[in-house]
Amino acid sequence: MPDFTLSPDLVLLQETVRSFAAQELRPRERAAEAARGIDGGVASACETIGLARLELPESLGGAGLGALAGAIVREELGAGDAGAALALDPLGPVLYALRDFGGEDALRAFALPVLEAAGARAILVFDAMPRIHTEGRRAHGTLPWVPADRADLLVVLERERAYVLRDSIACEPVRGTGLRAAGASALRIEGSPVLAEWVSTPCARRTLAHARLHAAALLVGVMRQAAEFSRRYARDRVAFGRPIAHHQALAFLITDMAAAVDAARLLVWEAAWRLDSGLAADEACASAFVECAEASMFVAPNALQILGGHGFMQDHPVEKYLRDARALGLLLGGIDAARDDAERDLLGIAGPVDLGGDDPQGELHAASS
């Protein structure tokens, strides 16, 4: 059985990131939304802490920490500002695709240049129902929305393969509903050269599992903050001679919201533990994402309802939490794709044919840039 008692190192990491989120992200959340980006000082502080290289192997200058550490950090960042959390993470889930498919060679070739370029962003797209098509080692297609205003590196993940694009990617700014601090763009890909391509169903499933856990941990942070903010409001708001939190129906709702957050966190931590232990984790990560997405649509709307009309006003951040939660739940194929994958694993339904053969790393097709 997994032991959910955090080690002293993880507790210290958690406290450090929680303080960073409270001091640097939350006070600037409205300004970051308006600017569609983060303040340079915040990015520098994040770089000093080393959050962008948290899961990068030590041999490449990273901390080499695992999925559980990543989940703990992203919950705290999500509680600060989920959009800023994405903007502060230059690689995001692209790290997992490059690591799982191509190993350190791929990380060295594609990830390190992104980390070394100021403000650069790498984007992972799960293209299960392909919108992007490759012909003659070039890619074409359009993506209606990604939470970024620039794409210095694009990794397209399909059910059985992944490939890397870098050039001929145009970002057309759109008005994002949630995650505005990360930006929002439609991507137009016109003849972008495929720089590298790998084919392996096991690697694709492992990458998708890590990416879903990434989003799920941010969701836990968003709904935790929504639950805590609305609870504090309910304790301070007086109606009919006593705080509204003391009315039984509202007290029960606040309790249910707190329980939903804790339950979602436990699923995320268990899935992370399975990944760190080398156990099968596809179903656990998909289930964690489904639970977090569904729980967030219970917690965030009810948090807004507790504030009543104030919840719709930008004087309070609860409407932002609802927007961010909805946007995170749409990533990586959304809740329906994750539920289908969890069901397939639970019922033992065969997945796509593995085109990667016996080599878990798949086959690398190098292309000149």
Q: What pLDDT was estimated at residue 144? A: 93
Same-domain pairing of 331 and 216: yes
Is 152's pLDDT higher than 90?
yes
Question: Which pLDDT belongs to residue 4?
Answer: 66
The model's confidence at residue 3, banded by pLDDT at 50, 70 and 90, is low
Number of domains in the chain: 3
> Do 223 and 332 belong to one domain?
yes
**Residue range 60-73: average pLDDT?**
95
Q: Is residue 208 part of a domain?
A: yes
pLDDT of residue 326 exceeding 70, the answer is yes
Domain membership of residue 174 as a residue range: 94-200
* pLDDT tens digits along 184-243: 999 999 999 999 999 999 999 999 999 999 999 999 999 999 999 999 999 998 888 889
CATH number for the domain that contains residue 157: 2.40.110
Residue 173 burial class via C-beta count within 10 angstroms: exposed 0-12, middle 13-18, buried 19 and up? exposed
Flag whether pLDDT at 88 surpasses 50. Answer: yes
Both 134 and 216 in one domain: the answer is: no
Q: Are 242 and 340 found together in one domain? A: yes
248 and 322 assigned to the same domain:
yes
- In the numeric block, which tokens belong to residue 318? 């609860």
Could you say which of 158, 177, 200 is where a domain stops? 200
**Cβ burial, residue 331 (10 Å; 0-12/13-18/19+):** buried
The average pLDDT across 272-291 equals 95
**Mean pLDDT to the nearest integer, 45-66:** 92
Rounded to whole angstroms, the Cα distance separating 279 from 336 reads 24
Comparing CA positions, the residue from 107, 332, 120 lying closest to residue 219 is 332
Regarding whether 122 and 106 lie in a shared domain, the answer is yes
Q: Are residues 195 and 114 in the same domain?
A: yes
Identify whether 120 is part of a domain.
Answer: yes
The tokens describing 87, both together, are 């903007």
* pLDDT, mean of residues 308-335: 92
Q: Is residue 358 part of a domain?
A: no
CATH of the domain at 292: 1.20.140.10
Write down which residue in 87, 121, 147 finishes a domain.
87
Residue 71 sits at φ, ψ, to 5 deg, of -65, -40
Q: How far apart are CA 319 and CA 296, in angstroms?
A: 13
- In terms of pLDDT, which residue wins out, 363 or 334? 334
Whether the CB-CB separation of 28 and 36 falls below 8 Å is answered with no
Residue 199, beta-bridge partner list: 161, 363
- Two structure tokens written together for 331: 């990533």
Tens of pLDDT, residue by residue over 157-179, are 999 999 999 999 999 999 888 99
SS3 180: helix
Would 53 be classed as within a structural domain? yes
355 within some domain:
no
Same domain, 207 and 334: yes
Sorting pLDDT into bands at 50, 70 and 90, what band is 298? very high
**With 70 as the cut, is the pLDDT of residue 355 above it?**
no
Whether the predicted pLDDT of 366 surpasses 50: no
Are 285 and 331 members of one domain?
A: yes
Q: Give the β-pairing of 153-157 and 122-126.
A: parallel
In a domain, 356, yes or no: no
On whether both 150 and 254 belong to a single domain, the answer is no
User: Residue 350: its pLDDT value, please?
Assistant: 61
Percent of the chain's residues with pLDDT above 70: 93
Whether residue 211 is found in the same domain as residue 340:
yes
pLDDT of residue 361: 37
User: Would 189 be classed as within a structural domain?
Assistant: yes
**Domain closes at, from 173, 200, 227:** 200
Q: Considering the domain boundaries, does residue 352 fall inside one?
A: no
Mark whether 195 and 137 lie in a shared domain: yes
* Two tokens, residue 31: 């300004």
